[in-house]
Amino acid sequence: MAGDLTDDTWQDLYDSIERVLPVRDTSTQRQELARLAQVYRHLDDGGRAGFLRRAAAHLGVDEDVARRAAEALLEDPSDPAAQVALRRALTPRFSDLLHLLTGLDGGVKLLVDLRADLRHLARGELPLVEAELDGHLATVFDVGLLELERITWGSPARLLEKLILYEAVHEMDGWEDLRDRLDADRRCFAFLHPAMPDEPVVFVEIALVAGPPTSLAELLDREAPTCDAEDADTAVFYSITSCQRGLAGIHLGTELIKTVVRELQRELPHLERFVTLSPIPTLRTAALDLDEATRAELDDRSWLDGDDSGVRDEVLAATARYLSTRVDGRVPDPVANFHLSNGALVDAVHWRANTEDYGLARSWGVMASYRYDPPAIAANAATYAAGGEVAVSEDVRALRGI
């Protein structure tokens, strides 16, 4: 089968690797590596998993060398030379191969995809390779090596089509929809990596509005008139998308939000508020303090067309409590936990904020706003990390107490 890893293919790849590793001439290396990359790209999931396992087995640590180095260390654990030697002995040859890929044309993207494969096709099976690749990619994607780019309708089509492809939070309906999201009263920023120029790493979409937002529909309404960015006092971060599965766990979203807040402060000094309009993906399945009748009514959705006053207040209060109460040290909702860890506070909860089907299914249409208040971010983050009180706005505090 085309995508399968036959023994012959493996042997061919392995021979290639053994040829490539000792070579010093990079032109030769690159030709072999390019061929190897191409073969790997054409393998199916099973074939890739097989390749990763075999490569890890054949290009692993030399156990004899590692054992002797460990024994040497135990003789004098403070001897730096012994420490260095042991570290080196614990570096699998597979890592050397991965490092070589970095310099290949398209190599950084390949490494990112390899990490995704490692995590999805061989989860937990190859910890040493995974640990090494984690460290390597953490360096390659260090925020100091990324470029913040403002995305506009004047950006390359090659890049914009990736935004349409990747947008995960609120799907885009083609080029017209994208253009609306890049209007004069919108902002979109991405981190790009110089060795992966047409692939956004993570991007964030922002609406500039007058007054805080209360629903998603008003932000995504394609018929809404464009507001003048100079009149806006609020920047609403309504979507943040990590584009590369293979970079999961490398926290670039946090950096992007903070960098963009600084950037917007510089461009539009009259902005007063930096808030998100965020989903609460766990709300409906959470153990909220709501009685059964309320739950039933909410699930029933009949309140959508009629009078919702019976449930509205109760649900908002329960949501406010849910988002600001720790369970085992952290607030349970992952989106809330993300923003609170970053130093935001719970600013507001919104009723009928997302009445799309997926919004009702996840959280009965309720959304939350988290607020990034630049002077308070550091202290908030420290308090949240230290297990202190969860930061909330006056409104949320009041709501919670009902």
Side by side, the strands of the sheet bearing 367-371 are: 147-150, 186-193, 196-209, 234-242, 273-276, 367-371, 345-350
Contact between residue 151 and residue 190 where contact means Cβ atoms under 8 Å apart: yes
Structure tokens at 8: 């012959």
Catalytic residue check, 324: no
Q: Which is nearer to a copy of itself, 322 or 372 (CB)?
A: 372
Minimum distance from CB of 377 to a copy of itself (Å)?
A: 6
Q: Which is nearer to a copy of itself, 42 or 88 (CB)?
A: 88
Minimum distance from CB of 391 to a copy of itself (Å)?
A: 13
What is the C-alpha to C-alpha distance for residues 221 and 72, in angstroms, rounded to an integer? 68
Q: Which is nearer to a copy of itself, 43 or 344 (CB)?
A: 344
Catalytic residue check, 339: yes
Minimum distance from CB of 97 to a copy of itself (Å)?
A: 14
Going by C-alpha positions, the residue among 215, 219, 220, 230 that lies closest to residue 271 is 230
Alpha-carbon separation of residue 161 from 166, 203, 208 (angstroms): 9, 13, 23
Minimum distance from CB of 300 to a copy of itself (Å)?
A: 42
What is the C-alpha to C-alpha distance for residues 349 and 366, in angstroms, rounded to an integer? 7
Minimum distance from CB of 396 to a copy of itself (Å)?
A: 22
Minimum distance from CB of 122 to a copy of itself (Å)?
A: 12
Which of the residues 193, 215, 324, 339 is marked catalytic?
339
Helix (H, G, I), strand (E, B) or coil at 310: helix
| 234-242 and 273-276 strand pairing | parallel
- Using only C-alpha atoms, the chain has a radius of gyration, in whole angstroms, of 25
Query: DSSP string of 54-83?
Result: HHHHHTS--HHHHHHHHHHHHH-TT-HHHH
Contact between residue 346 and residue 313 where contact means Cβ atoms under 8 Å apart: no
Which of the residues 215, 239, 242, 278 is marked catalytic?
278
Query: DSSP string of 200-233?
Result: EEEEEEEEEESS----HHHHH-TTSPPPPGGG--
User: What's the longest Cα–Cα distance across the chain?
Assistant: 78
Structure tokens at 190: 């991405």
131: alpha, beta or left, given left = phi > 0 and alpha = psi -120 to 50?
A: alpha
Query: DSSP string of 168-190?
Result: -SS---HHHHHHHHTSTTEEEEE
Active site residues: 278, 339
